[in-house]
Amino acid sequence: MAPTLRDVADDNDIRIGAAAAADPIREDFQYRDALREYNAVTAENAMKIGPLRPDEHTYDFEDGDLIAEFAREHDMYFRGHTLVWHNQLPEWLVPFQYTDRELRRLLEDHVRTVAGRYAGDVDTWDVVNEAVADDGGLRETPWLRAFGEEYLDKAFGWAHQSAPEADLFYNDYGADGINDKSDEIYELVSGMLDRGVPIDGVGLQLHALHDPVDPDSVAENIERFKDLGLAVEITEMDVAYTAEDPPEDHLTVQADYYREIVEKANEAGCDTIVAWGVSDQHSWIPHFDDTLTEDPLLLDDSYDRKPAYDAIVDLLS
């Protein structure tokens, strides 16, 4: 029987994971079987503030608990995603209807409650997600308005107090290789370390869309964050091409890219790579950009292994 990704990842003491949702775990045995082929899992949406908070005074942990239980039952490395973000806010949270003091209280309660709930289950938290704007500086968010720049330091501090054994990460997109945004994130996390903020790592999303970033640049970027004493994980990987003009035999090209990223990232000191979805039918890409190919992940719509899956297995074997 051919080895699974989990088999070869375990043999090499690395983690190859997938983002997962609660409903297909409940309803689809093929999804559950496919998810068990990975040794790491990220809660895709279930632990974001919107899904967790039906109203200001209520938490609904049903979906998050289910994914946590699945990870625990199958001895999987579990990433919590995400405690602080400017998107997927609940409908009741209309920031201009709250004072800054109320927003500060609300965020502190949220981080402490959720991190504390999953203390001992979540191995790594994406504490703050996508705080750096694409054109530089911190993104304008309700949290920046209410706290100023210290909201990042505060969030990491609350998370550490509530889940002291979890590793705490800053996570962002568009900063996978060496570029202006990754430079700014480097300065951001360097400053946090200088201030004694309990940050343990940086998550590079690596949504390789249209024109994938050079793997050598990814490796160089990983190395410089590692040199700060931080862990680095590739947290949300998928690979898609322009649908009207994809590379010839694009699944083979995709496989080669996945293989090279896993190889060079691991050589640079990154031991965790998470695909953003269990299979192509669960990818966010078709809902995000219909100009892209709809097969960005390691398993196809029928949960069959793709060339990219096989390429990683061959590499790690």
Catalytic site positions:
130, 236
- Residue 179 near residue 191, CB atoms below 8 Å: no
> Which of 153, 233, 166, 238 is closest to 193 using CA atoms?
153
Distance CA 263, CA 109 (A): 41
> DSSP of the chain, one letter per residue?
-PPPHHHHHHHTT-EEEEEE-HHHHHH-HHHHHHHTTSSEEEESSTTSHHHH-SBTTB---HHHHHHHHHHHHTT-EEEEEEEE-SSS--TT--GGGS-HHHHHHHHHHHHHHHHHHTTTT-SEEEEEE--B-TTSSB---HHHHHHGGGHHHHHHHHHHHH-TTSEEEEEESS-SSSSHHHHHHHHHHHHHHHTT----EEEE--EEESSPPPHHHHHHHHHHHHHTT-EEEEEEEEEE-BTTSPPTTHHHHHHHHHHHHHHHHHHHT--EEEESSSSGGG-SHHHH-TTB-S--SSB-TTSPBPHHHHHHHHHH-
Cβ neighbour number for residue 20 with a 10 Å cutoff: 28
